[in-house]
Amino acid sequence: MPDTVNGLPLHPLVVHAVVVLLPLAALGVAALAVRPSWRGRYGGLVVLITALATAAIPLATSSGESLEHRVGDPGEHAELGDTLIWFALPLLVAAVALVWLHRRDTRSSDSRRTPRALAVVVAVLAVVVAVANLVQVYRVGDSGAKAVWGSAPAASVGHGDDD
C-alpha cells in the first residue's frame, strides 16, 4: 500500500474515514437498540456503515505503521489505535444481531419470536458496545493529536505571550 497520496501521508486521510464512520456507526447501533421500529428501515444502512468503519481500521493502522517508520514512534497513540478493531468488531456483531433478530421476528409466527428478555439483553449490550466505541475513538484521536501537537492546545501552538 502506498504511504502517501499527492505527497501527503496516507494515515491522516484514512483516519478521517474511521473518525467519521465509527462514531456514526456507534450512534446508529445505539439508535437501532433503543428504537426497534427503525431496525427494518435503517438496519441495513447501519450494518453497512459499521462494516465500512471496521474495514477502514486495518487501513488506518497499516498506514500509521508506515508513517511511524518515517516520523517516529507516536507512543500511546499506536497502542490505542491497535485496540480499536477489538471495539469495532463487537459493534458490527451487535448491528448484525439487532437486524437479524428483527428480520427473524417479522418472518416468524408468534410462537417462534425472540424472547423479550433476549431482545432486551441484545439491545443493552449493543448500547454498551456503542458507548465503548465512542470512548475509544475519542481516546485514540486524543492521543494522536497529542502525538502530533504535544500537550499544548492547538490554538496556542506557535504563539508567544501576547501580554
* CB-count burial class (<10 Å; 0-12, 13-18, 19+) for 103: middle
Please give the model's pTM, rounded to 2 decimal places: 0.85
DSSP character for 148?
H
The full 3-state SS of 19-42, as one line of letters, equals: HHHHHHHHHHHHHHHHCHHHHHHH
What's the grid cell of residue 25? 456507526
What sign does the dihedral 101-83-131-54 (CA atoms) show? Answer: negative
pLDDT of residue 160: 53
pLDDT tens, position by position, for the chain (163 residues)? Answer: 677 777 777 888 889 999 999 999 999 999 999 999 999 999 999 999 999 999 999 999 988 888 777 877 788 888 999 999 999 999 999 999 999 999 998 887 766 788 889 999 999 999 999 999 999 999 999 998 888 888 655 555 555 555 4
C-alpha distances (whole Å) from 78 to each of 19, 90, 154 are 15, 21, 20
